[in-house]
Amino acid sequence: MYINVIGAGLAGCEAAMQIANRGIEVRLYEMKPKKKTPAHKSDLFGELVCSNSLKAMRVESAAGLLKEEMRRLDSFLMKCADKCAVPAGGALAVDREIFARLVTEGIHNHPNITVIGDEVTSIPTDAVTVIATGPLTSDALASQIEKMFGDSLSFFDAAAPIVTAESVDMDYAFCASRYDRGGEDDYINCPMNKEEYEIFYEALVNAERAPLHDFDVMNPKVYEGCMPVEVLAQRGEGALRFGPMKPVGLVNPRTGHRPWAVLQLRKENTAGSMYNLVGFQTNLKFPEQKRVFSLIPALHKAEFTRYGVMHRNTFLCSPKILDSDFSVKENKNLFFAGQITGVEGYMESAASGIIAGINAANIVLGKKTVVLPDTSMIGALSRYISNPEVKKFQPMGANFGVLPELENRPRDKKERGKAYAERALKDLDNYLCED
């Protein structure tokens, strides 16, 4: 008796662990290192290809609530993340190399998990199967999925560059967290005055973009949460100042005033030797990234350890295909998990892997599948991706908008978040006690 899990990304690893911890053998298929997608660089499992941030930690935030729910469901990845966290203000960010190494070691060391280093090119029928191949599903398997369901969509994600800490000119930068949340050195802030910003803006919108080699580039759709900074800038000169370069909550200690615009840099590793350009996902050509981003005064000597890249993201039209337990409507022995289902974000993907793994195991054990309360963040996302009333389906990350409305909705935003979180965790705990 065994269960197939295809893909050793965040969702696949969570699913594999949930199944294995229930005493069931797992055959985990992963095509790395034999074959990599254009966005993957590491041979390790659980590779974070975009940001190293897992978003807010506060339970009163949507992202923080999601992570707390995952902890209560015995999330393997949350344990790994907590062991390699780096300072990031109110966010949980990780040293991505240590994180991936912890994930890989945990998977390899589990006695019920057998890792098979091959590409899967067709959907298995030999056992209950969880497909967690992510937004970068290989062409062969994507073709098989498309033949089976007919409805799959593609858009493009973009990753931000990383610079060395020592190359940031601190004569033009200052350390602070927005609104003084978190530690003083969690972020390096690169301020710009109006003239500097305008010069940078003109260079950015006119910079040359990289061709999308190795991808299907017909009618690409760019998801808002990972929109390339140059695409966002084209919406108008103020778009960046209300987006990734917003100066609110920050005061330049050299001037005593709020800057015109600010680029924040977040620690990429525990040692603090590398920093990520927050919100600066890009598809500019590499020399253009160097030229344009070096126009930011604090980065005029920047050394880039990784340039931004853009990659394909494939997901199902899940409301037509999946139930809220992440099984296929017409085949209860087949599950999907991760971003391929239309959940958007690292932890959202991992959370879907938890539920798919639990339910795949339950099918084998002859138990009923689990569908969490829709007042919980995980339960609400599960219902969103399986809701046939959603007509124009697009990926969805954790947000309070997917939750049922509160009976007595506080007017204050912070109090509202607290009320959502309290209700969610109470209902989740009650569900888990009854299950």
3-state SS record for the chain: CEEEEECCCHHHHHHHHHHHCCCCEEEEECCCCCCCCCCCCCCCCCCCCCCCEEEECCCCCHHHHHHHHHHHCCCHHHHHHHHCEECCCCEEEECHHHHHHHHHHHHHHCCCEEEECCCCCCCCCCCCEEECCHHHCCHHHHHHHHHHHCCEEEEEEECCCEEEHHHCCCCCCEECCHHHCCCCCCEEEEEECHHHHHHHHHHHHCCCECCCCCCCCCCCCECHHHCCHHHHHCCCCCCHHHCCCCCCCCCECCCCECCCEEEEEEECCCCCCEEEECCCCCCECHHHHHHHHCCCHHHCCCCEEECCCEEEEEEECHHHHECCCCEECCEEEEEECCHHHCECCHHHHHHHHHHHHHHHHHHHHCCCCCCCCCCCHHHHHHHHHHCCCCCCCCCECCCHHHCCCCCCCCCCHHHHHHHHHHHHHHHHHHHHHHC
Residue 158: the pLDDT is: 74
pLDDT in tens, 229-285: 999 999 999 999 999 999 999 999 999 999 999 999 998 887 888 899 999 999 999
Nearest to 380, CA basis, from 65, 77, 36: 65
Cα separation of 156 and 217, whole Å? 9
Whether the predicted pLDDT of 217 surpasses 50:
no
Lowest mean pLDDT among 123-137, 306-320, 332-346: 306-320
Residue 221: the pLDDT is: 55
Residue 218: the pLDDT is: 40
Residue 401: the pLDDT is: 87
Cα 264 from chain centre: 19
pTM score over 0.85: no
Residue 215: the pLDDT is: 44
pLDDT in tens, 346-364: 999 999 999 999 999 999 9
pLDDT in tens, 405-423: 898 889 888 899 999 999 9
Whether the predicted pLDDT of 313 surpasses 90:
no
pLDDT over 70, % of the chain = 93
Whether the predicted pLDDT of 324 surpasses 80:
yes
Whether the predicted pLDDT of 129 surpasses 60:
yes
pLDDT in tens, 374-395: 999 999 999 999 999 887 787 8
